[in-house]
Structure 1
Amino acid sequence: MTAVSTADLVTTARAAGRGVAAFNVITLEHAEAVAAAAEAAGLPVILQVSENAVAFHGGRAAPLLAAAVRLAEAAAVPVAVHLDHVTGEDLVHAGAAAGVSSVMYDASALSYEENVRVTARIAAWAHSEGLWVEAELGAIGGKDGAHAPGVRTDPAEAAAFTAATGVDALAVAVGSSHAMTTRTARLDHALIARLRASVAVPLVLHGSSGVPDDELRLAVASGMVKVNIGTALNVAFTSAVRDRLDADPAVVDPRRYLRPAREAMTATARHLLQVVSREVSPSPSAS
């Protein structure tokens, strides 16, 4: 199957009243696990590569993006490739050259006025290249410890921001927090509904790893469309590696512990794909 665009997946999910899961991938094993999970579930998915992941790979975006694009092209289900939390314009250009279909440009650390100005400029260029653009108004709770957990997006400001910037989707703060390793977040579903009524573009939930299944399902029912997940994969990966090495400390071949790590991520991703699509599945312990 040919790789599809994030725009197509989000538009289709929104029209059907479903969510589409977007998983942040750091290694090839992450990307393989997500693609395998999507195929097993028979559901579309978005592979995301963040600016932080690119930095981990020495600042070279092309190799990991190329791997993600090739996996998307080879998948038996619709898979899109997205750049996440990009703050540098050069990386937006590199993503376009590598074949991603969308980018989340993050100018939320700037003042509102500067966020609007910079995001509008980036969105105009990205649109000229055929890229779908997500942005963020104010940081999501927990991002680099910069915000208190109670931060929330104002619907009127969100509507003004999306109109002024021309972005295609908006990440909003409704109670989730980045990098949570426990699933204890409670979302403001009434606020999600108000945002959906106020903002013309699809809403994006960041920090979804810390959100329980029932909260995720209700978030989608309330108006969330694109649901970003990252830390849950890392919890599954690291737990599996730790268990394997604890069981046999003499292991030195990385394939001996990367295989169970990939399998654990696949199980977690499959479960969360079904949750976000509002299908029912049993919850694996690693999710």
Structure 2
Amino acid sequence: MPLVTTGELTARAAAARSAVAAFNVVTLEHVEAVVTGAEAARSPVVLQISENAVRYRHGRLLPLARAAVAAAEAAAVPVALHLDHVRSDTLLHQAPEAGFGSVMYDASRLPYAQNVAATRAAADWAHAHGLWIEAELGEVGGKDGEPPLGAHAPGARTDPAEARAFVAASGVDALAVAVGSVHAMTTRTAALDHALLREVFGTVAVPLVLHGSSGLPDDQLSAAVAGGIAKVNVGTALNVAMTGAIREFLAAHPEAVDSRHYLTVGREAMTRTVTDLIGVIARPAP
């Protein structure tokens, strides 16, 4: 079916007090696993390509983006394409022609005033080119191999009053919040500050997004949706599933050299993870 937009899916989820699942993809196997898993769950989904993934692909956005568009158009469920954690304006400006309907512009490491200014400029450009735009306030640690911020470190949590002012000043359509999740976690042992999340939800007028969700167990994800999260980003959980399945296969078949054999089991493992997580994330809050 035709591509839909992240904004449309997020707004629909927010109205239902549910959330849309958004999965970061790096390879064609990721793309296929996300679409197949969403079809099994009979749920819309967002395919996300990050600036890091583009860097891995030799700085070329179009090969993976075109594969994602083709997979989305052949899907039996609505699929959106989102450009994630963009810091480069050059990459931002490639988004519309590459098929993206949305972008997350990441100036979160800048001081507040500079974050607002950079994000405002990105939002003005995005809106002029038909893009829905997400930004981040507070810092979800653990990205690019960096250690997570301590709970009381400056910027480690989103301040509700600052969030309200940031959204008004920047003009963004959604806000990623720092409420205790951490990027790149390989164990599901994180816990959120749910009281803070509820406070931010009651203060900010745009949908809220949760990054670093791979480290959260099911009950924390469900509570996050109940607390106001409308879009949940997942990345590392797919890589954990894929790598674990491939390791197990190669240990049992040391003679294997045909990449299709071990990539098949890796893709199937990611597909199961997608279906399971959508079952938690897309469930309406009680």
TM-score normalised by L of structure 2? 0.96
Check if 1:140 corresponds to 2:145: no
2:24 counterpart letter in structure 1 = N
CA contact (8 A) 1:142 1:149 kept: no
Match for residue 283 of structure 1? none
Match for residue 244 of structure 1? 249
Once the two structures are superposed, residues 159-190 of structure 1 have per-residue CA deviations (whole angstroms, 9 ceiling, x without a partner) of 00000000000111001000000000011111
CA distance in 2, matches of 1:100, 1:232: 23
1:57-76 aligned within 5 A: 57-76=57-76
CA distance in 2, matches of 1:190, 1:99: 38
2:169 counterpart letter in structure 1 = A
Structure 2: state its 5+ residue gaps. Answer: none
2:239 is aligned, of 223, 227, 234, to 234
Check if 1:10 corresponds to 2:10: yes
CA contact (8 A) 1:149 1:175 kept: no
Match for residue 41 of structure 1? 41
1:235 counterpart letter in structure 2 = V
Secondary structure of the 2:26 match is coil
CA distance in 1, matches of 2:147, 2:254: 39
Check if 1:156 corresponds to 2:157: no
CA distance in 1, matches of 2:166, 2:190: 26
CA distance in 2, matches of 1:279, 1:31: 25
Once the two structures are superposed, residues 1-54 of structure 1 have per-residue CA deviations (whole angstroms, 9 ceiling, x without a partner) of 111000110000000010110000000000100000000110000000000000
Once the two structures are superposed, residues 129-169 of structure 1 have per-residue CA deviations (whole angstroms, 9 ceiling, x without a partner) of 11000001132122342652412110000000000000000
Match for residue 285 of structure 1? none
CA distance in 1, matches of 2:147, 2:219: 27
Could you say what the CA RMSD is over the residues aligned between the two structures, in angstroms?
1.2
1:1-287 aligned within 5 A: 1-144=1-144, 145=146, 147-150=148-151, 151-278=156-283
Higher alpha-carbon deviation: 89-98 or 160-169: 89-98
CA distance in 1, matches of 2:147, 2:130: 33
Once the two structures are superposed, residues 110-143 of structure 1 have per-residue CA deviations (whole angstroms, 9 ceiling, x without a partner) of 1111110010001001001110000011321223
Q: CA deviation at 1:197?
A: 0.6
CA distance in 1, matches of 2:197, 2:71: 33
Q: Give aligned pairs, total.
A: 280
Once the two structures are superposed, residues 77-124 of structure 1 have per-residue CA deviations (whole angstroms, 9 ceiling, x without a partner) of 010000000000111111111010000000011111111001000100
CA contact (8 A) 1:149 1:177 kept: no
Structure 1: state its 5+ residue gaps. Answer: 281-287
CA contact (8 A) 1:184 1:210 kept: yes
CA distance in 1, matches of 2:101, 2:74: 16
CA contact (8 A) 2:17 2:284 kept: no
Q: CA deviation at 1:279?
A: 7.0
Secondary structure of the 1:94 match is coil
2:282 counterpart letter in structure 1 = S
